Chain A
Amino acid sequence: MTLSPSLAANPLISSWLTVRADGTVTLRVGKAELGQGIHTALAQIAVTELGLSPDQLEVAPLSTAASPDEGFTAGSLSTQVSGAAVRAVGAAARRLFIEAAARRAAVPASSLTVADGAIRTPDGEIVGSYGSLAAEVNLDVDAAGAVPASMVPAGTVPLAERPAQSDLTRIDLPDKVFGRPRFIQDLELPGMVHARVIRPPLLRATLADIPEERLAGLPRAAWMVRDGDFLAVLADREEVADAAAARLRGSAKWEPADDLPEESRLASWLRDQRSETLVLAAGEPAAEPGRPTPPGTTASASYSRGLIAHASIATSCALARFDGRLLEVWSHTQGIFPLRNAIADALGLDKSDVVVRHVEGAGCYGHNPADDVAFDAALLACRTGGRPVRVLWDRAAELGSGPLASAMTADVTAVLDPDGSVRNWTYDVWSNGYNGRPGYAGNPGLLANGYRSGGSALPPSVDPPLASGLGSGRNAVPPYTLGSARVATHRLLSMPIRTSAIRSLGAHFNVFAIESFMDELAAVAGVDPLAFRLARLDDERARGVLLAAADAVGWGQPPGAADTGLGLGYARYKNTGAYCAAAAQVEARESVRVRRLVLAVDVGRVVNRDGVRNQVEGGAIQAASWTLKEQVRFGPEGITSLSWETYPVLRFSEIPQVDVIVIDRPGHPSLGAGECTAGPVAGAIANGLFAAIGVRARALPLTDRNVLRAIG
């Protein structure tokens, strides 16, 4: 068992836990609650390891002033990395308290047990508790030193033997169901000012001078702040700020500093740009100039997908207060420490003079505008004489000014030998980078910093390295035994439309392309798609999820209705994370509808079974929405899909039935569940569409327009 990177960076137990004399325990973590339920899962690990009842533990809100630095909450790593740290810290603290109780009672520590915070002898006599020993146990010790990793309970009890009641229910849900303020949008600070920012319609543009007479129409109670091309209005009342922003938006003239590609030529535009090539698998390509074409049937196809928006249900919000020395920021960021560092860097402040506190926002699926709005608030708070500033983005900005998931296109070729083997798999994918988070590429990465005087423009986004699961190349290497494969990503070196991380990064598209092409090859070979995959999958866990999903969906049975078909998709997330197979029942009549999705997942040891199911279910529904409907629209003037009408997502009546099968692997480390479904769902839906009506749609989303184009 290797040490969790979170624990290596924050080794002291006291960084994570505070035990009070009343027996209550505070758990501090660096992973943010984004609606995924991570604080519930981490609380469950902590109470299990410490031997507490759930009401004896609270999870503290994150703050750079007090929380352990765990970087970003991203990549489906929180349960794995933070969970392992909390498990080790909990086990270490439990041991220290048991040893202290043993010393007091002069009994062997090995004879003592702890439950509900009370430490007991085998006879049931209480010889101490967390509360009674809180003053004498020193937690300023190295957790890994107090309990070697090998002694941390591996927790290999199968789910079947763990009572379901031992799973915590979501600790944040009651507040939300009973209407208590909990979100950052609900937060008020005394004397705060409301601010709105006026954005250009495209990433790079300069603001022409605003004639004085145009400002005359602003509400008297509002005032304007301009810093270079950064423009904002402030008012004591929110609706006044809104009205002033609407007025300024109509008056501000922007000079575009970039040409946007033509939307209808997006895929070929991606191929034409200057790019940086990264070879992920260096096998022999299927065909190379000057080399004889190998025997067998060569199959080729090109796939593409447009840009996707985070489209959070709330618009991004932040508050900030600057007293002349200390800058405090309240944010729903995914990374309080990277954001703090980026803000300090951009404003030339000392890191110790910036505190970022996390407050829950609406569901977050990657690098959304949370960090940008926090910097908006920070900038403005420096100009209000100490009054706190609250900034809220509007819906148009949320859909059009935040980072997006890049458009992608891929070419794939393979040779199918007469004996049925596949070789010379060749895959090339073109995309903008998937990471422009604060601090990446040495830039603060904060939108307004590119507009204000003396700031620095946002550089083109990069891709995370292989150790972090790649970006454009995430899951680009096929999981199948295919002889030699050549896989390369081509990351664009220019970025007229801003891109960054969104749930699963490149995996949604890459798995869609790979799984579609696997079905195309199976059709050429005349082999059932399930059998075709199984013949090329050696990993028992991979086969396990694929067989489970196929079995549950009724694979191989005749379709229940006309124009209906079943499709499969499989991937192991990042090729190192959770295993997921999806089976889709797709109906294609007036338009494409998914009637049912079956997801089979193997996330290793399950921490909280309903938490896993909820993440898998939600991930699958979101992926179905991306695959069926979602596409950012734009014209020469900028992004045009700025409302829920022009950027539609699946509504209640369009949601498929979703069935989730969780395969318990108690002996294996826990793996994140939130992102593993994205690619398999996309592949399964495209393959189900082919099974339904024989149409191979190679461009996402599967809108009527794209499907009609595929029909020809």
Chain B
Amino acid sequence: MPVFLINVNGERARVDVEPRTSLLTVLRNDLGLKAAKFGCGQTLCGACTVWVDDRPVYACDVPVEAVGDGQVRTLESLGTESAPHPLQRAIVEGQAGQCGYCLPGVIMRAAAFLRDHPAPSRAEVAEALDPNLCRCGSQQRIVNAVLHAAAEAAR
């Protein structure tokens, strides 16, 4: 199988897979990065959202051969419990989750959105998160957490 060198979370990773293998499979099964989740494999739920060059993408729909020199970032590199991203802090403080399966994708999309829209309205946040599904009904808390993180960053 061909070898691909990809940049993930600031490190160079070597993977030996078929070119059409999805970035999601490579992250989860070859690199042991389990944060990005499989939800539908059809770009309809956002559970697999990661960044390539700071833009949110559906990792289920990106073949590894298309990653090239792109810088891939996953939730694992966003923040840690001792040094959380403001959004991670806001989600824990606001208890903005139930099962939490959607959260890695939601957080990556919302964090990218906040970077470009530091002072969004509630409706703008909700619209920005429309590619991501939450089935437990945590949407209101998640939107509150995004707004809270934006407000904190502005202080």
Contact = CB atoms under 8 A, between A and B. Distances in A.
Interface of A: 34-37, 169-170, 172-183, 185-186, 237-239, 311-315, 360-365, 392, 394-395, 610, 614-615, 617-622, 625, 643-645, 649-653, 655, 657-658
B38 A185 contact: yes
B98 A37 contact: yes
Given A179-B76, A313-B47, A617-B141, A169 B92 contact: yes
Given A170-B95, A313-B47, A618-B98, A177 B107 contact: yes
Nearest to A615: B98
Nearest first, the 5 A-B pairs at minimum CB distance are: A35-B99, A179-B35, A621-B137, A176-B100, A618-B137
B42 A643 contact: yes
Contacts of A311: 135
A363 B29 contact: no
Nearest to A332: B99
B81 to A, nearest CB: 6
Given A617-B140, A649-B135, A394 B41 contact: yes
A617, A643, A653: most-surrounded residue (chain B CB, <10 A): A653
A188 to B, nearest CB: 8
Given A363-B101, A392-B38, A643-B44, A652 B135 contact: no
Given A237-B29, A238-B29, A185 B42 contact: no
The size bracket of the interface on B is 35 or more
Contacts of A362: 99, 101-102, 135
A175 B99 CA distance: 11
Contacts of B91: 173, 177
Contacts of A181: 34
Give the dominant DSSP class at B's interface: loop
Interface in B45-81: 45, 47, 74-76, 78-81
Give the residue among B74, B100, B141 with the most A Cβ atoms within 10 A. Answer: B100
B51 to A, nearest CB: 13
A203 to B, nearest CB: 22
A657 B140 contact: yes
Contacts of A360: 99
A413 B39 CA distance: 44
Contacts of B33: 179
B39 A313 contact: yes
A311 to B, nearest CB: 6
Instruction: Name the prevailing secondary structure of the A interface residues.
Output: loop
B47 to A, nearest CB: 6
B127 A652 contact: yes
A178 B136 contact: no
Given A622-B137, A657-B140, A174 B126 contact: no
B56 to A, nearest CB: 14
Given A179-B34, A363-B101, A653 B123 contact: yes
Query: In the complex, which of the residues B41, B88, B104, B135 has the most CB atoms of chain A within 10 Å of its own CB atom?
Result: B135
Given A315-B38, A362-B135, A655-B143, 11 more contacts: A169-B95, A178-B79, A238-B29, A363-B98, A363-B135, A395-B39, A610-B95, A621-B137, A621-B140, A651-B130, A653-B123
B133 A649 contact: yes
A365 B135 CA distance: 10
A614 B98 contact: yes
A176 B81 CA distance: 11
B154 to A, nearest CB: 22
Contact of A653 (B34, B100, B126): B126
A313 B133 contact: yes
A313 B137 CA distance: 11
A658 B103 contact: no
B118 interface: no
B42 A314 contact: no
A395 B97 contact: no
B139 interface: yes
Contacts of B37: 183, 185, 314
Contacts of A169: 92, 95
Contacts of A179: 33-35, 74-76, 78, 104
B137 A239 contact: no
A614 B101 contact: no
B138 interface: yes
Contacts of B74: 179
A175 B34 CA distance: 11
B80 A178 contact: yes
A4 B99 CA distance: 27
B18 A239 contact: yes
A402 B22 CA distance: 26
Contacts of B141: 614, 617
Given A644-B42, A652-B130, A622 B139 contact: no
29 contacts: A169-B92, A169-B95, A173-B100, A174-B81, A176-B104, A177-B92, A177-B107, A181-B34, A186-B34, A238-B29, A239-B17, A239-B21, A313-B133, A313-B135, A315-B39, A360-B99, A362-B102, A395-B40, A610-B95, A617-B137, A643-B42, A643-B44, A644-B40, A644-B44, A651-B133, A652-B125, A652-B129, A652-B143, A653-B129
Contacts of A643: 40, 42, 44
A615 B97 CA distance: 10
B52 to A, nearest CB: 17
Contacts of A394: 41
Contacts of B35: 179-180
A180 B101 CA distance: 11
A634 B53 CA distance: 42
A149 B79 CA distance: 47
B81 A35 contact: no
Interface string B137-153: 11111110000000000
Nearest to A399: B40
A622 B136 contact: yes
Interface in B11-35: 17-18, 20-22, 25, 28-29, 33-35
Given A181-B34, A238-B25, A176 B79 contact: no
A76 B51 CA distance: 39
Nearest to A40: B95
Contacts of B95: 169-170, 173, 610, 614
Contacts of A619: 137
B135 A622 contact: yes
B134 interface: yes
Nearest to B145: A177
Nearest to A651: B130
Contacts of A622: 135-137
A172 B80 CA distance: 15
B92 A658 contact: no
A652 B126 contact: yes
Contacts of B130: 651-653
A658 B133 contact: no
A446 B42 CA distance: 28
A126 to B, nearest CB: 32
B87 to A, nearest CB: 9
Contacts of B142: 652
B42 A183 contact: no
A172 to B, nearest CB: 7
Nearest to B22: A239
B110 to A, nearest CB: 10
A175 B76 CA distance: 11
B139 A621 contact: yes
Contact of B81 (A37, A178, A392, A649): A178
B82 to A, nearest CB: 10
Nearest to B1: A237
Nearest to B47: A313
A183 B28 CA distance: 13
Contacts of A176: 97, 100-101, 103-104
A688 to B, nearest CB: 18
Contacts of B137: 617-622, 625
Nearest to A610: B95
